[in-house]
Structure 1
Amino acid sequence: MKKIAIILSGCGVYDGAEIHESVLTMLHIEQFGASYECFAPNIQQYHVINHLTGEEHAQQRNVLEEAARIARGDIKDLSSLNVSNFDALVIPGGFGVAKNLSSFAFEGAQSTILESLKQCCQSFAQQHKPIAYLCIAPALIGHIHPQGTLATIGNDEETATATEQLGAKHVTCGVDDVVVDEQQKVISTPAYMLAGSITQASSGIQKALKALFDIL
C-alpha cells in the first residue's frame, strides 16, 4: 500500500490549514487505496483569527497543536518526518501556508519559507517522489523546485505574478483541473483559490491526487 505524507499548517482557512481541503485530501487518498500520515511544524502560528468575525485575536496558538484538531490527534512534528517512509507528499492550502509555513501573505515575491519545510520538500524531490500543492500552497514551489517548474494558483493576476517572481512558471487553471510538471513530479490545483463550493474543491483535489498516483 502506498503511503502519503500530509503537511498541515494549523487549523482554519484564515490562519491555518484549510479544513475542507485537508479532509478531502485524506478522503481521496484512502479512496485511491493508499494510507496517509499527518505532520505539522511545532511552531507558534503567525496570528489567530476569529473565523466568525474575521477579527484578529490577541493570543497565541501552536501550529502542531491546532493541526492536531484536523488529524484527530494522529499527527507528528514535521521534524520527525522520514521521507524514506513515504511515496509522496501533499500540502493542502489555507492561509497558514502563506503565514505559518512561509511569509507569502505579507511579502509576496520577497517571501521566505520555513527552513524545515523546504528541506523536507526538497528531500522528496531529490528522491524523485511526487508532491501535490493545493490552493495557495503552490506559492511554495518557487522556493523548493528548480526555476520554471510549472504551477497554478488559480487566476488571480497579482498572486500569479508573485509566484512567477519566486521562480515558478504559472499556468492559469480551472477549479476542476490540475497542472502537472512531469519532469519535476509537481502537481498543483486551485481548490479554494477558485472553488465556490466543497464539491468544486473536491473535484480538483481528486484530480490532483489521481495525477499524483499516476506518477507513482
Structure 2
Amino acid sequence: MANPQKFPKVAVLLSGCGHLDGAEVRESVLALLALDQHGATVQCIAPNAPQFHVINHVTGEPVPGATRNILEESSRIARLGQCLDLAQAKVADYDALVMPGGYGVAKNHCSFAFKGADAEVRPDVAAFVRGFFDAKKPVGAICIAPALVALALHQAHDSATLTLGNDVGCTAALGQLGQTSQDTPNATQIVIDEAHKLVTTPAYMFDDARLGDVWTGIERCVAEVLKRVA
C-alpha cells in the first residue's frame, strides 16, 4: 500500500460512459476503488468535446443523429461536478495517471478503433499523457488504453513495453508503432515497463473475463503504479 501519509493524487482520464462508445464502466469503477483502497486521492478528468458517436448498448448499433459530450458522460461515473475539464488539468498537479479502457479511448481520445497504427490522437490528450512520461511520473493503462499510450509515445519517438492481452491485430499495430507488445494469458496479469514507470493490464481485452479476474489485474496495476510515486 502507498504511504498513507502522502496521499498521492492521481488523475483518472475518462472517455465517456459505456464500453462501446466511452469508458468501460466496470474498469473505471474498479480502478477508482483500487485507488481509494490504496490511500490515493483522485481527480477524474475528461475532454469537454463531443463523442465520436453514440452506441445503443442494447443493440450495439450506432444511434443516428445522437450526440453526447465526453465530459458530461464521464461525469456519470465521477459523480456530479467531480470530473474536471481536460483543458483545466495540469500534469504538475498529479503524482500519477490511470486510464481505464473502453472503446471511448480508441474512438474519442484517438482513432485507433478505426485506423490502428495510423491513428491520430487528440492533441490535448496526447500532451496530457506524454506530460506524465516527460515528468517521469507513473502511468497505469487498462484494457485498450495502452494503445493510446503507444500512439502518444510514438509521436514523441519513444517506445515502451506494454500489453493488450493477446489480440493479434492489436499486437501487430503496436509493433508498427515501434512498441513492444507482451502477450498475457488472462485479465489477472500486468506488464511493467520500469524505465517508463508504465504498468498495463488487459482487463476486458478478454471479452469473456470474469469480473473477479478484471479486479485482480486492475488492483495489481494500481498498486504497482502507486509504488512508483516519488
Q: The residue matched to 1:183 in structure 2 has which SS? A: helix
* Aligned-partner residue type, residue 226 of structure 2: F
Which residue of the partner structure matches residue 161 of structure 1?
172
CA contact under 8 A between 1:121 and 1:144: conserved in structure 2? yes
Q: The residue matched to 1:188 in structure 2 has which SS? A: strand
Q: Which moved more, 1:98-107 or 1:139-148?
A: 139-148
What does residue range 21-100 of structure 1 map to in structure 2 within 5 Å?
21-58=27-64, 59-73=66-80, 74-100=82-108
Partner Cα distance (1:34, 1:64) in 2? 22
* Aligned-partner residue type, residue 105 of structure 1: A
Partner Cα distance (1:141, 1:83) in 2? 15
CA RMSD across the alignment: 1.0
* Aligned-partner residue type, residue 118 of structure 2: Q
Which residue of the partner structure matches residue 102 of structure 1?
110
Partner Cα distance (2:158, 2:132) in 1? 17
User: Per-residue deviation at 1:148?
Assistant: 3.2
User: Per-residue deviation at 1:78?
Assistant: 0.7
TM-score, normalisation: structure 1: 0.97
Which residue of the partner structure matches residue 133 of structure 1?
141
- Runs of at least 5 residues in structure 2 that lack an aligned partner in the other structure: 1-6
CA contact under 8 A between 2:129 and 2:149: conserved in structure 1? no
Partner Cα distance (1:161, 1:124) in 2? 26
CA contact under 8 A between 1:142 and 1:164: conserved in structure 2? no
How many positions carry a matched residue from both structures? Answer: 216
Structure 1 consecutive aligned stretches of length 4 or more whose deviation exceeds 6 Å? none
* Aligned-partner residue type, residue 165 of structure 1: Q
TM-score, normalisation: structure 2: 0.91
User: Per-residue deviation at 1:62?
Assistant: 0.6
Which residue of the partner structure matches residue 190 of structure 2?
178
Which residue of the partner structure matches residue 3 of structure 2?
none
Partner Cα distance (1:89, 1:167) in 2? 22
Partner Cα distance (2:159, 2:129) in 1? 17
- Runs of at least 5 residues in structure 1 that lack an aligned partner in the other structure: none
Percent same amino acid at aligned positions?
42
User: Per-residue deviation at 1:214?
Assistant: 1.5
